[in-house]
Chain A
Amino acid sequence: MQLSRREAIVRLALLMGASFVTPRLQAADFGTSSTPPDGFTPADLALLDEIGDTIIPPTDVPGAKAVGIGAFMAMMVTDCYAAPEQRAFRDGMTAIARSFRTRHGVDFVGAAAADRTIFLNEINAALRQPKTAESGAPAPKYFRIMRELTILGYFTSEEVATKVRPWIEVPGRYEGNVPYRKPARSR
Chain B
Amino acid sequence: MAIPSSHVYDAIVVGSGISGGWAAKELTERGLKVLLLDRGQNVEHIKDYKNALKQPWEVPHRGRATNAFREAHPGAQSRWRSPGLNDEWWADETKNPYVETKPFDWIRGYQVGGRSLIWGRQSYRWSDLDFEANARDGLAVDWPIRYADLAPWYDHVERFAGISGNRDGIPQLPDGEFMPPMDLNCVEQHVAARLEAHYGGKRRLIQARVANLTQAIHDRAPCQYRSKCHLGCPFGGYFSTQSSTLPAAVKTGNLTLRPHSIATRVLYDKDRQRARGVEVLDAETRETIEFSARLVFLCASALNSAWLLMRSATEVWPGGLGSSSGELGHNIMDHQLGAGASGRVEGFDDRTVYGRRPGGIYIPRYRNLQGNEGRGYLRGYGFQGSANRSNWQRDVAELAIGSDLKEALLEPGDWSMGIGGFGEILPDHANRISLDPQRTDAWGLPVLAMDCRLTDNDRAMRREIISDAVEMLEAAGVKDIKTRDGHYNFGNGIHEMGSARMGRDPKTSVLNAHNQVWDAPNVLVTDGACMTSASCVNPSLTYMAITARAAAFAVAEVNRGNL
Verify B58–A174 contact, CB threshold 8 A: no
Shortest distance in angstroms between B281's beta carbon and chain A's nearest beta carbon? 34
A88 at the interface (CB under 8 A from B): no
On whether the beta carbons of B409 and A151 are closer than 8 Å, the reply is yes
B182 in the interface (beta carbon within 8 A): yes
Closest residue of chain A to B401 (Cβ to Cβ) is: A55
A1 close to B (CB within 8 Å): no
B67 touches A82 (CB 8 A): yes
A137 within 8 A of B: no
**Given A57-B406, A121-B402, A175-B353, are A157 and B57 also a contact pair (CB < 8 Å)?**
yes
- Which residues of chain B from 222 to 249 have any CB-CB distance to chain A below 8 Å in the complex? 222, 224-226, 234-235
Which residue from B183, B353, B392, B401 sits with its C-beta under 8 Å from A121?
Answer: B401
Contact of A57 among B68, B221, B354, B402 (CB under 8 A): B402
Instruction: Please tell me if the beta carbons of A5 and B351 are within 8 angstroms of each other in the complex.
Output: no
Query: With contacts A17-B216, A121-B402, A156-B57 known, is A175 near B67, CB below 8 A?
Result: no
With a cutoff of 8 Å between Cβ atoms, the chain B residues found around residue A178 in the complex are 351-354
Pick 30 A–B contacts, CB within 8 A, sort by A.
A6-B46, A6-B49, A10-B234, A17-B221, A17-B222, A18-B222, A22-B53, A54-B402, A76-B64, A79-B67, A82-B67, A124-B401, A128-B398, A147-B401, A152-B64, A155-B393, A156-B59, A161-B56, A164-B410, A169-B55, A170-B226, A171-B224, A171-B226, A173-B355, A174-B353, A174-B356, A176-B185, A176-B189, A176-B357, A177-B189
Checking B67, B234, B407 against A81 with a beta-carbon cut-off of 8 angstroms, the contacting residue is B67
One of B64, B355, B411 near A182 (C-beta < 8 A): B411
Q: Tell me the bound Cα distance from A125 to B398 in angstroms.
A: 9
Contact between B392 and A180 (Cβ–Cβ < 8 Å)?
A: no
CB distance from A42 to the nearest CB of B (A): 22
Given A151-B409, A175-B354: 19 more A-B contacts, CB < 8 Å: A10-B235, A55-B401, A59-B406, A59-B407, A127-B397, A147-B395, A151-B392, A152-B62, A156-B56, A164-B410, A165-B392, A171-B224, A171-B225, A172-B225, A174-B354, A177-B183, A178-B354, A180-B350, A180-B351
Interface contact A175-B183, CB-CB below 8 Å:
yes
CA–CA, A176 to B59, complex, Å? 27
- B400 interfacial by beta-carbon distance below 8 Å: yes
Does the CB pair B65–A80 fall under 8 Å? yes
Taking a contact as CB atoms closer than 8 A, the residue among A6, A57, A174 that contacts B403 in the complex is A57
| B residues lining the A interface (CB < 8 Å) | 46, 49, 52-53, 55-59, 61-62, 64-68, 182-186, 188-189, 216, 221-222, 224-226, 234-235, 349-357, 392-393, 395, 397-398, 400-403, 405-407, 409-412
Chain A residue nearest to B53 (CB atoms) is A6
A158 touches B189 (CB 8 A): no
Contact B183 A174 (CB under 8 A): yes
The answer to whether A180 and B397 touch across the interface, beta carbons within 8 angstroms, is no
Question: Is there contact, CB below 8 Å, between A55 and B405?
Answer: yes
How far, in Å, is A116 (CB) from chain B's closest CB?
A: 9
B64/A25 in contact, CB under 8 A: no
- A residues sitting closer than 8 Å to B (CB atoms) are 5-7, 9-10, 13-14, 17-18, 22, 25, 27, 29-30, 54-57, 59, 61, 63, 75-76, 79-82, 117, 120-121, 124-125, 127-128, 147-148, 151-153, 155-158, 161, 164-165, 167-180, 182
Interface centre among B57, B235, B392, B406 (most CB of A within 10 A): B57
Residue contact A169 to B58, C-beta cutoff 8 Å: no
A5 and B410 CA atoms in complex are apart in Å by 30
Could you tell me if A27 and B55 are in contact, using CB atoms closer than 8 angstroms? yes
Q: Given A57-B403, A156-B56: A79 and B226 within 8 A (CB)?
A: no
A174 and B55 form a contact (CB under 8 A): no
CA A179 to CA B352, docked complex, whole Å: 6
Contact check, A175 vs B61: say whether CB atoms are below 8 A apart. Answer: no
- Decide: A148 and B395 in contact? CB cutoff 8 A: yes
Q: Tell me the complex Cα distance, A22–B52, Å.
A: 13
Could you tell me the distance in whole angstroms from the C-beta of B234 to the nearest C-beta in chain A?
5
- Bound form: Cα–Cα A165–B355 in Å: 14
In the assembled complex, which residues on chain A have CB atoms less than 8 Å from the CB atom of B407?
59
Residues of B within 8 A of A56 (CB): 401, 405-406
Per CB-CB distance, the 8 closest pairs between chain A and chain B, nearest first, are: A176-B185, A171-B355, A174-B355, A177-B186, A176-B183, A180-B352, A158-B57, A156-B56
CA–CA, A30 and B59, complex, Å: 11
Complex CA distance for A117 and B55, rounded to whole angstroms: 32
Query: Is there contact, CB below 8 Å, between A79 and B66?
Result: yes
Complexed CA–CA distance, A168 and B184 (Å): 21
Asked whether A172 lies within 8 Å of B350 as measured between CB atoms, the reply is no
Give A82 Cβ to nearest chain B Cβ, in Å. Answer: 7
Q: Are A180 and B412 in contact (CB under 8 A)?
A: yes
Residues of chain A contacted by B401 (CB below 8 angstroms): 54-56, 117, 120-121, 124, 147
Min CB–CB distance A38 → chain B (angstroms): 13
Q: Which of chain B's residues have a CB closer than 8 A to the CB of A10?
A: 46, 221, 234-235
| Chain A contacts for B403, CB-based, 8 A | 57, 59
Residues of chain A lying within 8 A (CB to CB) of residue B67: 79-82
Asked if residues B354 and A173 are in contact (CB atoms below 8 Å), the reply is yes
In the complex, the chain A residue whose C-beta lies closest to that of B398 is: A128
CA A54 – CA B61 in complex, angstroms? 22
Contacts of A54 in B (CB 8 A): 401-402
Give bound CA distance, A182 to B53, whole Å.
27
Contacts of B410 in A (CB 8 A): 61, 164-165
Cβ of B184 to closest chain A Cβ, rounded Å:
6
In the complex the two chains form, is A172's CB within 8 Å of B234's CB? no
Tell me whether B61 and A79 are in contact (CB under 8 A): yes
